[in-house]
Amino acid sequence: MPLGRVLGEYVLKAASSKIEELDGGQVRVEVNYAGEATGEVPGQHIGTLSFIAEGGDPNLPGEWKYIGVLLTTSGSLVKVSGSGVRIRTGDGHKARYRGTVRYSTTDPKLSEFNKIIAAVEAEADPVTMTLKGANCEWM
């Protein structure tokens, strides 16, 4: 399946984080991000990325989830939710995130986005506290 147009790109900065120890030696990490999104629906984006480090080891591949909202420059709200897999890149503490996202909005001018599934590729860098990525329409 090919990827279509780039719907948006973003550079987000970590605003806060939470680490919680779970049963079985697992660790849940939640990071709240905020920053600018550009592309077909530009604006300010805020959201939470979470993942569980299996056995407490963030080097192992694992699943991630994301929930956020885009405050568009036109005054609309677009909910963004996604999930996928993550893996360390081998470059310092950076990790790559790949998966899918979906959009949801009540703005009739943006209703096309309610019918789109997008592929996402992003990279988190805990040292610089950034999350950079892009979402592309999945055709």
Contact 79, 105 (CB under 8 A): yes
Percent of the chain with pLDDT over 90: 80
- Give residue 19's pLDDT: 93
- In the chain, where the domains are located: 3-138
- Give residue 58's pLDDT: 72
pLDDT digits (tens, 9 = 90+) for 81-130: 999 999 999 898 899 999 999 999 999 999 999 999 999 999 999 999 99
Nearest Cα neighbor of 7 from 121, 129, 131 is: 121
**Mean pLDDT value of segment 36-65:** 89
- Give residue 2's pLDDT: 59
Contact 78, 101 (CB under 8 A): no
SS3 25: helix
- Give residue 53's pLDDT: 83
Is the full-model pTM beyond 0.85? yes
- Domain 3-138: give its CATH architecture: Beta Barrel (2.40)
Contact 124, 130 (CB under 8 A): yes
pLDDT digits (tens, 9 = 90+) for 27-41: 899 999 999 999 999
What is the identity of the amino acid at 7? L
The DSSP call for residue 28 is: E
